[in-house]
Structure 1
Amino acid sequence: MSARSPRTVVVDDSRFMRGLITDILESGGVEVVGEAEDGREALSVVAEADPDVVTMDVEMPGMDGIEAVERLMAEDPTPTLMLSAYTAEGAEETFAALDAGAVDFFAKPGGEVSMGVSRMEEQLVETVRSVATADLSPAGRDRRTEAAAAAAGTAAPGTGAADATGTPSVEPNTTLIIGSSTGGPDAVERVVSALPGDADLRGVVVQHMPEAFTGRFADRLDAASELSVREAEDGTRIGRGELAVARGGHHLEITNARDGRLRLAVIDEERGQGVRPSVNVTMESAAEVVDDPLVGVVLTGMGDDGTEGVQALSRAGGRVLAQDEDSCVVYGMPKRAAATGAVDTVLPLDDIAAGITGETA
């Protein structure tokens, strides 16, 4: 992160919301250098103010946030954080904005949000600061574009590593735990879509994301992958070729592993992690109950969630992979995981799937 405070443009059709967001950011040391009430005005304000980051409302009259992001990425690429409604409909539009090039999203307060207002304010400031550091180089934008194309069915999934006979080389009964945060939706989708459907894998994806969004995220992964992907429910059992996405606002534990199948528990408790779902909680539970091969993966994201989890996996004899700095949107979680000494291999995003199947380990 730059030593100076990030310069921000706030875009929202509600004057009240613009004022609220501005007050929160400025109280947290973020400099707001411009405001706009719709997407069209946002383009001109961003061109003039040259901010480090933009907060963009999704639903606005005239040019909405999705079109504004598309135009912004084509004309004046600037890291953008979407502010979206805490609803399933909001999730659909938000993922469209991520496909258009937005880095991450933050759910606006609503009746279902359980964290305190002060905590939400801290998280918004932290997320804006993190998004301001995002890599919007041509290579980074190309990766996001290709991931979006795979989700739309224009690129073939299941291109993971295989041996000379075409059979995936992953060890039998391998349990996979993938953790990510900022920039994670596209990164996870790229990894999961590259895993071969006939590999002897089952596992869990832990993405920092609100509850209203994780079901839609699971659907996207399922459509982009040869694996079967669904949102986890309490008591869910998954076997070969299946992944479960941890439900937002809850922790996910693996409570039993037998005959190649995992039993999952959705936990509605804080657990002192600061985020829900937490990568630490899921990885530590896997290390405790899974006797078969374990593979942990830490992808792009801010913060240090996963540092305790990767150490637990390593002590249990598991392999741990982390995404490298150059391919991360935000090099936070992978950096801190690697600093523990528990990471076996650091790989570019494009090589993570092959690392999971053992081809680059």
Structure 2
Amino acid sequence: MKFNRLGSSNIPVSEICLGSMTWGLQNTQQDADQQIQYALERQINFIDTAEMYAVPPSPETYGKTEAIIGDWIRRHPSQRQDLIIATKIAGPGLNWVREGSPMTAKSVQSAVEASLKRLQTDYIDLYQLHWPNRTSPHFAKHWPNMIDFSDIDVDEQTTQMLDILHALDQCVKAGKIRYCGLSNETPWGISQYLKLAQQHNLPKMVSIQNEFSLLHNKDWPYLIEQCVHEDIAYLPWSALAGGALTGKYLKGARPEGSRWTLVQRNGLFRDTPQSQQAVAAYVDLAKQHALTPAQLALAWCKQVNGVSSTIIGATTLQQLQENITAFEVTLSEACLEAIKEILQHHPQPF
């Protein structure tokens, strides 16, 4: 297993991060136990979760994933030190989470306490802001003019960011969290947090996780360049585009128990005619190189310069095993050139 430093922190993390968002809905405690144990056997030391999980999010599933991880920690206390646990505070918009209100210093502190309790641990290795208080160009809102940036009150947003950083600083000093990170952010958001941290001697954000895959690579090159030069770990999520890049949803297929059979809060926005065409091309290319479509997609993601650790999730142990083997694959120059050609034909399919 290859390990990379988590941005400017002193934490070495495996290049594979075990995602957990299905635990508590599609997966049981027993399933999670098996996945964690298998991951540890493969030297994966990084687990990502969130207070919002399981997904699709709902009042009934809120906090369940953290509780499942906490139950595992309770039964394996000696192995807590072997894990780097990352979790996240939900931003505004979910009416069952702090009535959908924006993140504040008070909500950060209360959310940290609640996560610690559910996780049954004394500290969180990486505490992340799941999405910003302002609307950001993520979750299919990345097309021109879908967001009116000129309507944003910059002073208000900056004040909120500083408020959040002060709360995170208190949690770090109290030993409740080790490092802080971002999620679903932009270069402007990163820059604001870096500037405020330097000006006020507050925690520097050491990582960011954004959606990134063969179907959605808008962070290359501008945001990833910033991450490399600012020593911020880049952590892709949905490297399989919500499962689309496995090919299992081609031609409208909906395998029983799969994620796309569940009601999605933002709809199946990744399922477009253009995405179907791109996925079909990648599936064919994978076959030509004796790989599974998932292996092709994940092997491509891990070789992108600037990627520190790729978040992968699975609903079965067999899927997890297949996904992990992708990180043993080195794509040939011919394969990478073929991928580049497909990317040129389908640069932004959803």
TM over 0.5: no
Of Structure 1 and Structure 2, which has the larger fraction of its residues in helix?
2
Q: Higher strand fraction: Structure 1 or Structure 2? A: 1
* TM-score normalised by L of structure 2: 0.29
**TM-score of the superposition, structure 1-length normalised?**
0.28
Which of 1 and 2 has higher RCO (CA within 8 Å, sep 6+)?
2
